[in-house]
Amino acid sequence: SRELFVLTYGALVAQLCKDYEKDEDVNICLDRMGYSIGIRLIDDFLARSAVKKCRSYSETTDMIAQVAFKMYLGVTASVSCNSAAGNEFSLILDKNPLVDFVEELPAERASLCYCNLLCGVIRGALEMVHLAAEVTFLQDRLKGDAVTEIGITFLRKAEDRKHRRN
């Protein structure tokens, strides 16, 4: 079923490229679709994974890399922290199953972010657990980079998340 999903995803991106002239419009559309998936997928993830509440941004990012990616894409990602503040992380995928049947992007589509759906999924899921984040591709193998790297920047300080019970 993973192969069917990957082929269907490729057909979706190809159709969006036909529908929109600008790569940026395709990227925005993929992000929106991913966001819609993410806000619904989080319920399934929480029910099926039986994970406990994450207490830090680092734990949250590890959960995405080790559990969520494995559960839905069949791969795990490595995590690196990119800031002293502890709110910026990178998810590094050695293998990205969404591009199994894609060799390279055409030259006229150089600014296309083929897997931008993933950024939207992550952003939507995080938002549903009250974690505002900016999620972007930092590196992409389809663009000649050595790895696929997704950057996650949590937009609030950790202390902003604490709530008092009355």
Domain-located, residue 163: no
Domain-located, residue 160: no
Q: What is the pLDDT of residues 24-57, one digit of tens each?
A: 999 999 999 999 999 999 999 999 998 888 999 9
Domain-located, residue 7: yes
Are 38 and 125 in contact, with CB atoms under 8 Å apart?
yes
* pLDDT of 165 above 70: no
Domain-located, residue 106: yes
Residue 85, pLDDT score: 87
Are 72 and 49 in contact, with CB atoms under 8 Å apart?
no
Q: Give the H or E element holding residue 94.
A: none
* pLDDT of 157 above 90: no
Range in 64-68, 140-144, 156-160 with the lowest mean pLDDT: 156-160
Domain-located, residue 161: no
* pLDDT of 1 above 80: no
- Which CATH number fits the domain that encloses residue 142? 3.30.1380.20
Domain-located, residue 166: no
For residue 23, give its domain range: 2-154
CA distance 69 to 94: 12
Q: What is the pLDDT of residues 104-124, one digit of tens each?
A: 888 889 899 999 999 999 999
Domain count for the chain: 1
Who contacts 102 (Cβ-Cβ below 8 Å, separation ≥6)?
10, 114, 142
Domain-located, residue 44: yes
Q: What is the pLDDT of residues 50-72, one digit of tens each?
A: 888 899 999 999 999 999 999 99
Reported confidence tier of residue 161, pLDDT bands at 50, 70, 90:
very low
Residue 105, pLDDT score: 84
* pLDDT of 135 above 60: yes
